[in-house]
Chains A and B, each alone.
Chain A
Amino acid sequence: EDQVTQSPEALRLQEGESSSLNCSYTVSGLRGLFWYRQDPGKGPEFLFTLYSAGEEKEKERLKATLTKKESFLHITAPKPEDSATYLCAVQNTGGFKTIFGAGTRLFVKA
């Protein structure tokens, strides 16, 4: 059974204090690993898709990396506007289903 585990559940940072969010996954055959951002009261918004181990994607202060068992979302010099819940998800090669982790709530204080 496909499974996604994210850690930590919550992370509090000072503005400018870089850190990483972890996503561990098990999947029968990986079609893609996804990162989404979710603001309070809103639906998740797509950030990245990673397809194979060793792949990296960047967007502004965010950088996502992928190994065969984990993905990391690195946040460099975060700003208060980066505060949100970050969700990790996987799709397997067998179908359309996307399975999500519970998310990491990020708080960045000015």
Chain B
Amino acid sequence: NAGVTQTPKFQVLKTGQSMTLQCAQDMNHEYMSWYRQDPGMGLRLIHYSVGAGITDQGEVPNGYNVSRSTTEDFPLRLLSAAPSQTSVYFCASNTRGQGNTGELFFGEGSRLTVL
């Protein structure tokens, strides 16, 4: 059981380049989200989705796009990378099914450096 899988684990970009961080989960969770984690600032919510075809903005959405065409996948796109987007990115999922605790299941993270 893989849980939440993120790729790539490491990426270096130049300012202005674009890229997509991939996230896939095999738990049939309806809710998926992207966070960024910076030193001293904890986890900040970028975008989230409550199901296929439905996305919404979190606390820090600027510079990022998302889409949710399937239940399993929730990619995060950087259209024109900036040094301020240097961070560690985490994808997470959960379900509102009967009896669940509300806990988030996290991937291992993707470390992005923008030069």
Q: Does A11 contact B (CB under 8 A)?
A: no
Q: Is there contact, CB below 8 Å, between A96 and B90?
A: no
Q: Is there contact, CB below 8 Å, between B48 and A96?
A: yes
In the complex, A90→B58 CA distance in Å? 14
Q: Is there contact, CB below 8 Å, between B48 and A97?
A: yes
Closest to A85 in B: B42
List B contacts of A89 (CB < 8 A). 43, 104
Q: In the complex, which residues 66-110 of chain A have their Cβ closer than 8 Å to any Cβ of chain B? A: 87, 89, 91, 95-103
Q: Does B114 contact A (CB under 8 A)?
A: no
Contact pick for B41, options A42, A44, A46, A102, CB 8 Å = A102
List B contacts of A49 (CB < 8 A). 101-103
Q: Is there contact, CB below 8 Å, between A96 and B50?
A: yes
Q: Is there contact, CB below 8 Å, between A46 and B50?
A: no
Q: Count how many chain A residues have C-beta atoms less than 8 Å from C-beta atoms of the other chain.
A: 25
In the complex, A97→B44 CA distance in Å? 11
Closest to A6 in B: B42
Closest to B90 in A: A43
**Mask of B5-29 contacts with A, CB within 8 angstroms, 1/0:** 0000000000000000000000000
Which residues in B have some Cβ–Cβ distance to A below 8 Å? 4, 31, 33, 35, 40-45, 48, 50, 58-59, 90, 92, 94, 96, 101-109
Q: Other CB < 8 Å A-B pairs besides A44-B106, A45-B106, 19 of them?
A: A9-B40, A31-B102, A32-B101, A34-B102, A34-B103, A42-B108, A43-B4, A43-B106, A43-B107, A44-B90, A46-B101, A49-B101, A87-B43, A95-B50, A96-B48, A97-B33, A97-B45, A98-B92, A100-B44
